Amino acid sequence: MLRYTVHRILLMIPTLLGVAVLIFFLLRIMPGDIVELKLLGEGASVTPDVLAAERARLGLDKTLIWQFVDWMGGLFTGDLGVSMWTERPVAHEIGIRLELSLQVAIMATILATAIALPLGTLAALFRDTWIDHTIRVFAIAGLAVPSFWLGMVLILGLLLVFNWIPPLTFTPLYEDPWANLSQLIWPAIAVGYRYSAVATRMTRSSLLEVLKEDYIRTARAKGVYERLVVARHAMRNALLPVITVIGLEFAFLIGGLVVTEQVFNLNGIGKLFVQAVAHGDYTLVQALVMLVASFFIIINFVVDMLYAWLDPRIRYG
Amino acid sequence: MPVSAQVAPPLLEVDGLHVHFVTSRGVVRAVEDISYKVGAGEVVAIVGESGCGKSVSALAVMRLVAQPAGRIVGGRILFEGRDLLTVSEDAMREVRGRDISMIFQEPMTSLNPVLPIGLQIMEPLVIHLGMDEKAARARAEELMGLVGIPDGTRRLDQYPHQFSGGMRQRVMIAIGLACNPKLIIADEPTTALDVTIQAQILHLMKDLSQRLGIAMVIITHNLGIVARYADRVNVMYAARMVEQGTAAEVFREPKHPYTIGLLRSVPRLDRPRGQMLETIEGLPPNLLDPPEGCRFHPRCALAIDACRADVPPLVAAAPDHLSACIRTSEVGRLARPAEAIRAEAATRASDASPGPLLEVRGLAKHFAAGRAAGSWRSDHAEIRAVQDVSFTVAAGETLGLVGESGCGKTTVGRVILRLEDATKGQILFEGADVTNARSGDLKALRRRVQVIFQDPYSSLNPRMTIGQILSEPLTVYGLARSRTAAGERVAEILTQVGLFPYMAQRYPHELSGGQRQRVGIARALAMQPRFIVCDEPVSALDVSIQAQIINLLEELQRSLGLAYLFIAHDLAVVRHISKRVAVMYLGRVMEMAGRDELYANPRHPYTQALLEAVPVPDPVAEGRRAHKVLAGEVPSPLNPPSGCVFRTRCPKATEDCKVVVPELREVDAGHHAACIHL
């Protein structure tokens, strides 16, 4: 088990390296030049010398390889560099937004899991009854309704019914939990609904699949209580694919809530991503991609660890 | 009525049971009007081919018929006088595992992979007997000993994947025995196991049932198992009971034409080998739309018009022997073994060719051991699947390659087919070395050497029609110039294997297992090969279908002069079809001889043990045999024993066997064995 864990951790390094190489060179292929955007943006005319000087200042005059080496050197020493657009450290730009994005992602995940596991289980156990049909309607609606639209409906509903709208500025959880939650619970619901729909469907189909297994029949033939058949014999096996879905969705939420963040006026990672790409802000985009990639990789690692914990065949493989 | 039945009511009485499955295509009447009795301590067998309803009728006793499609629609199941079909679900749950236990076919999938073995054994003890953790664990340890799992205390904390198939089935038996039930229902308990392990498990079950006075219902398709272990037999066909009686009676003088046909279509080790197997023609009926009257009449040689009219009732054919056939009194006179077939004794195509068609010299195949998930350097461990195997196959001849799973027989076939590369040794085909043949040579080889696979279900592409499957090789190898030519050739080979040309339009799932295997044979024949590797071609098929396929293979061999390498684990089938036989164990050939010589006079202790382990379908003969059960399991090919690989299980093993690797040498004329004690 220890070997397995160490092996998985070591494997993360080449994966991240691959991501770094890919994003660095892909960005350079993309059209758009931050220097021109910055200096020519307001319709001003600038001499080529000024442009060249600015390029040199940002380190864009060096060969690609040297730029890459510089960046990698920074990465290994923990220096993500300075945003080419705002001139502020990248770590700072990301830091102030990550707190918010991470909180929304965690809240949405908790919400989705809390809805999906019981509903999915009920749907499987009462397959093809009105319970299953009702849950199916709930889940399919969740898949069909875009999160941002649900977000708008939520805001409108709050406005019309309670004549209240959530706060528009972010307060950290530790400063004022009430203000914080009353702002962030709504995007978490908007995103969590769709998320729970995916997980509900997965829980249902996975549990139905497991309930058909021979060992479930064995458990019943032993005279095990039906509740225990589900809780002890079926659930652990059925959870494996559900965990994968939950993990991947979580990683996606970190950087993927572009439109929902707009709707709730949230200053999150998604919004920052869009701005950085629009500005051609190489350092910031690279850092963001590395961040999201790291999240995916770490979540995958956590999922693998959970698998190993749930499934002895992996633990003792 | 036997005396015992008057004294006490039977332990279990199934009376007029009907089970239906509601499917989208209609109602499948899976079990119709089944009645049988099981006395206390008795071993009762239910025999039949797949789909005849034998498993469903057993699951119905436990009220575990798959929901929601399956419904028990009629009848009574009296257990100790109480009708289990009328008790509450909770009362039924208390019967399960406590009074009646069940052992299932697939030990690989019947245990929960994520729970430790100990918990799975202790569960019924805690639930039914209210034992606490400590008492349950003590009893679980005791049970592990009872079912012969060494080191049981430690192994209770292990998980199913850490046990071999045979050991898992022992765990299943331990679970079944946990609460000292009165009845154990075993559904094909040994079908997934090797012969020697099968003998161990059945022996254990019989012994335990005698010692503990537990009645058993064994559901099986294997008539040999019935003969060896059962007191009474119930034969089912197409959802109905066709014959019932004591095992001795039924095997001595079967009364129903189906039972007679079944007994005649199995190749047998205890009888001289006939020229051709007798078969039951045709297929079992579709239970969505079964034939009127007697279900068996479309396949029955003795059928008369009256058979189509009414369902024949089970009537006494002899004391304590029932048969559901309206011609029961005449059957004995009418159903003579078809002498015509036996007399046909067509000379086999044994044309004395100058050299062997295929020659294998010192063949070895090692696989790098699969790296454990998460380990990152390879441990350089090797699985020695095949070691130092040599044999020849002459044109038009069949060499049987027999052994238990993991002995390397399939790997030998795959290396000859060049699906795997040999690690060492040489393969000569028609005198040319093809061990490392590439591209053009390999393509030429593929035309001459073909294969028939075991599983007719997964070896045909489900998205291609039979016609496409069969014409693909014709186009690839340019054997058919046009589509019409290919179509004609496909029709021709389909006819050759006993199918109909119109089946070219069908998809594999529209055919039965036997028909699919015929397609598999047709696919091999399309290339007009001289040599076919048959890898367990009949082991997935029912007895009556198996006989048809074996006969087809023999016919094709005669008419086309084909040579076969016939790989199988069934010793009787191998004997029937082969001219010479090689016995493999753990990657090595243990013994090789002419078929009659090998079976009449086995010299190697392993061959002797194998033949000993196979039950023959004759209770009298079985009663006379001393059942020496080969102990232990096949060691891992990752770490095979030093010296003779069989020494760890060999009754004759001595210190020398640890040192010397015995060579395969001639012990009699044409009889080779690898044992230093010969």
Q: Name all domains of chain A by residue range, CATH numbers in brackets.
A: 15-76 (no CATH), 90-316 (1.10.3720.10)
DSSP B509: G
Which of B24, B123, B219 should be substituted to probe chain A, the one whose Cβ sees the most A Cβ atoms within 10 Å? B123
Q: According to the model, what pLDDT value does residue A43 have?
A: 66
Mutation target to probe the B interface, by most B beta carbons within 10 A, among A127, A208, A215 is: A215
Q: What is the rounded CA–CA span in Å between residue B451 and residue B567? A: 11
Phi, psi angles (nearest 5°) of residue A264? -95, 10
3-state secondary structure of A146: coil
Q: Are B24 and B517 in contact (CB under 8 A)?
A: no
Distances from the Cα of B482 to the Cαs of B475, B476, B495, B575, in angstroms? 8, 12, 20, 42
Decide if B372 touches A, using CB distance below 8 A.
yes
Q: List b or e across B55-86, with b for residues whose CB sees 16 or more CB atoms inside 10 angstroms.
A: bbbbbbbbbbbeeeebbbeebebbbeeeebbe
Mean pLDDT of chain A: 87
Among A22-26, B270-274, B428-432, B534-538, the least confident range = B270-274
> Does the N-terminal peptide bond of residue B68 adopt cis geometry, omega within 30 degrees of 0?
yes
* Predicted confidence (pLDDT) per residue in B258-284, tens digit: 999 888 888 888 777 777 788 888 888
d(CA B450, CA B553): 14
Minimal Cα distance from A234: which residue of B? B112
Residues of chain B with C-beta less than 8 angstroms from the C-beta of A127: 68
Q: Which amino acid is at B381?
A: A
With pLDDT > 90 as the criterion, what percentage of chain B qualifies? 42
Rounded to whole angstroms, the Cα distance separating B428 from B435 reads 7
Residue B162 to residue B168: CA distance in whole angstroms: 9
Are B231 and B42 spatial neighbours (Cβ–Cβ below 8 Å)? yes
> Looking at the predicted structure, is the pLDDT value of residue B669 above 70?
yes
CA B377 to chain CA mean position, Å:
39
DSSP string across A164-180: ----SS---TTT-HHHH
| Torsion angle of C-alpha atoms B330, B332, B335, B338, degrees rounded to 10 | -140
Going by their DSSP bridges, the two strands B563-568 and B531-535 should be labelled as: parallel
pLDDT at residue B373 in the model: 42
> Which pLDDT band, with edges at 50, 70 and 90, does B198 fall under?
confident
How far is CA A56 from each of CA A32, A63, A120, A280, B16, rounded to the nearest angstrom?
17, 11, 58, 16, 94
Is B354 in contact with B392 (CB distance < 8 Å)? no
Burial of B411 (0-12, 13-18, 19+ CB in 10 A): buried
- Please give the structure tokens belonging to residue A94: 């990301």
Read off the pLDDT of residues B582-613 as tens digits, 9 standing for 90 and up: 999 999 999 999 998 999 899 999 999 998 88
Cα–Cα distances in angstroms (integers) from residue B69 to residues B53, B65, B362, in the given order: 15, 9, 55
Could you tell me how many CB contacts below 8 A there are between chain A and chain B? 94
Contacts of A235 in chain B (CB under 8 A): none
Q: Render pLDDT for B448-497 as a digit per residue (tens, 0 to 9).
A: 999 998 887 788 999 999 999 999 888 888 888 888 889 999 999 999 88
The reported pLDDT for the residue numbered B391 is 93
Specify the pLDDT at position B353.
52
Shortest distance between the Cα of B143 and any Cα of chain A, in A, equals 15
- In B156-246, which ranges are continuous DSSP H helix? 165-177, 195-212, 223-229
- Under 8 Å between Cβ of A233 and A224: yes
Nearest to A314 among B62, B116, B373 (CB): B373
Residue of B nearest to A314 (CA): B373
- Nearest chain A CA: its distance from B171 CA (Å): 12
pLDDT of residue B2: 46
User: Are A283 and A81 within 8 A, CB to CB?
Assistant: yes
How far is B567 from B582, CA to CA, in rounded Å? Answer: 10
Nearest to B159 among A8, A218, A316 (CB): A316
Residue B37 has pLDDT above 80, yes or no: yes
Residue of B nearest to A237 (CA): B114
CA atoms within 13 A on the CB side of B478: 2
B127/A222 touch (CB, cutoff 8 Å), yes or no: yes
Element (H, E) at B384: strand B382-393
Q: Is B292 exposed, middle or buried (0-12, 13-18, 19+ CB in 10 A)?
A: exposed
**Which of B112, B115, B124 lies at the smallest CB-CB distance from A223?**
B124
- Name chain B contacts of A312, Cβ cutoff 8 Å: 113-114, 116, 159, 161
Which B residues in the span 102-121 are in contact with A, Cβ-Cβ below 8 Å?
Answer: 102, 104, 106, 109-116
Interface test with B, best of A126, A218, A237, A310 (most B CBs within 10 A): A218
Flag if B96 and A3 touch (Cβ within 8 Å): no
Across the interface, which of B94, B109, B115 has its CB nearest the CB of A223?
B94
Alpha carbons B615 and B622: distance in angstroms, whole number: 7
> For the sheet containing B26-38, what is the strand order?
B26-38, B12-23, B70-79, B82-83
* Residues A215, B124: C-beta atoms closer than 8 Å: no
What pLDDT is recorded for position A119? Answer: 96
Residue at B494: amino acid letter: L
Q: What is the pTM assigned to this prediction?
A: 0.83
Summary mean pLDDT of chain B: 87
Collect all residues of chain B within an 8 Å Cβ-Cβ radius of residue A7.
374-376
pLDDT of A211: 93
Q: B113 and A218: CB-CB below 8 Å?
A: no
The distance of A2 to chain B (nearest Cα, Å) reads: 9
**pLDDT tens, A58-108?**
877 788 888 888 888 888 888 888 888 888 888 888 888 888 888 999 999
| Residue with token string 């994968």 | A244
Amino acid at A178: W
pLDDT of residue B99: 94
Closest residue, chain A, to B94 (C-alpha): A223
Please check whether residue B22 touches A, CB under 8 A.
Answer: no
Sign for the CA dihedral angle at A171, A177, A183, A189 comes to: positive
Q: What percent of chain B has pLDDT over 70?
A: 94
Distance from CA of A3 to the nearest CA of B (A): 6
pLDDT given for residue B219 in this prediction: 93
Is some CB atom of chain A closer than 8 A to the CB atom of B481? no
Q: How sure is the predictor about A192, in pLDDT bands with cuts at 50, 70 and 90? A: very high
CB hemisphere CA count around B234 (13 angstroms): 24
In 3D space, the residue among B304, B300, B254, B187 whose CA is nearest the CA of residue B544 turns out to be B300
Closest CA of chain B from A252, distance in Å: 26
> What are the helix (H) ranges across B561-604?
571-577, 595-600
Q: Which of A4, A218, A224 is opposite residue B110, by nearest beta carbon?
A: A218
> Which pair of tokens denotes residue A227?
């509740």
To the nearest whole percent, how much of chain A has pLDDT over 70?
A: 98
pLDDT of residue B102: 93
Closest CA–CA distance from residue B136 to any residue of chain A (Å): 15
Contact B103, B176 (CB under 8 A): yes
In this prediction, residue B38 has a pLDDT band, given cuts at 50, 70 and 90, of very high
* Contact predicate B326/B306, CB 8 Å: yes
* Phi (first) and psi of residue B531, to 5 degrees: -140, 130
Which member of B110, B124, B374 has the closest CB to residue A215?
B110
Residue among B484, B529, B509 at smallest CA distance from B519: B509
d(CA B562, CA B541): 23
Q: What is the ipTM of this complex?
A: 0.82
* Collapsed DSSP state (helix, strand, coil) of residue B230: coil
Reported as a pLDDT band with limits 50, 70 and 90, residue B359 is: very high
**Residue B561 tokens, joined:** 């002069």
List chain B residues with CB under 8 Å of A215: 109-113
Instruction: Give me the residues paired with residue B316 across strands.
Output: B322
| H, E, C per residue of B260-301 | HHHHHHCCCCCCCCCCCCCCCCCCCCCCCCCCCCCCCHHHCC
Within 13 Å, how many C-alpha atoms sit on residue A133's CB side? 3
Contact B159 A237 (CB under 8 A): no
Measured between CA atoms, how close is A209 to chain B, in angstroms? 13
Those residues whose C-beta lies under 8 Å from the C-beta of residue B633, and which sit 6 or more positions away, are B164, B166, B167, B197
Phi (first) and psi of residue B101, to 5 degrees: -115, 160
Q: How confident is the model at residue A41 (pLDDT cuts 50, 70, 90)?
A: low
DSSP-assigned states of every residue in A182-229:
HHHHHHHHHHHHHHHHHHHHHHHHHHHHHHTSHHHHHHHHTT--HHHI
Q: Please name the residue that has the structure tokens 């080529």.
A: A48
Chain B contacts of A223, Cβ < 8 Å?
93-98, 124, 127-128
* Confidence grade of residue B351 (pLDDT, cut at 50, 70, 90): very low
pLDDT above 50 for B220: yes
pLDDT at B347 over 50: no
Whole-number pLDDT of residue A207: 95
Residue scoring higher pLDDT (B53 or A315): B53
The pLDDT assigned to B221 comes to 87
Name the phi and psi angles at B45, rounded to 5: -105, 145
SS3 A117: helix
Do residues B540 and B456 lie in contact, with contact meaning Cβ atoms separated by under 8 Å?
A: yes
End-to-end CA distance of chain B: 54
pLDDT score recorded for residue B342? 42
Chain A hits for B98, CB-CB cut-off 8 Å, are 223
Q: How many residues does chain B have?
A: 678
Put simply, the answer to whether A221 touches B101 (Cβ < 8 Å) is: yes
SS3 track for A105-141: HHHHHHHHHHHHHHHHHHHHHCCCCHHHHHHHHHHHH
The yes-or-no verdict on residue B382 having pLDDT over 90 is no
Q: State the distance between the two ends of chain A, measured CA to CA, in whole angstroms.
A: 8
Which of A222, A301, A315 is the best mutation test for B, with the most CBs of B within 10 A?
A222
**Percent of chain B that is helix, strand, coil (3-state, to 5):** 35, 20, 40
Residues in chain A within 8 Å Cβ distance of B128: 223
Token pair 């005449």: residue = B330
Q: Dihedral of the CA atoms B483, B487, B489, B494 (nearest 10)?
A: 150
B341 or B309: which carries more pLDDT confidence? B309
Does residue B93 belong to the interface with chain A, where contact is any CB pair within 8 Å?
yes
Which pLDDT score, from 0 to 100, does residue B4 have? 46
The number of beta carbons lying within 10 Å of the beta carbon of residue A49 is 8
| Nearest-by-Cβ selection for A223 from B96, B162, B374 | B96
- Residue B340: pLDDT band with limits 50, 70, 90: very low
Triad A263, A268, A271: Cα angle to 5°: 70
Determine the average pLDDT of the residues in A260-286.
Answer: 86
DSSP A159: I
Find the mean pLDDT for residues B299-328.
87
Nearest CA in chain B to A208: B67
Residues of chain B neighbouring A213 (CB-CB closer than 8 A)? 109
Q: Which residues pair with B588 in a beta bridge?
A: B585
How would you classify the pairing of strands B43-47 and B531-535? unpaired
* Residue B129 vs residues B79, B124, B140, B215: alpha-carbon distances, Å: 20, 7, 13, 21
Strand partners, B28: B21
> Which chain A residues are Cβ-neighbours of B124 within 8 angstroms?
222-224
Closest-approach residue (CA) in chain A for B129? A223
B124 CB near a chain A CB, below 8 Å?
yes
Cβ pair A221:B64 closer than 8 A? yes
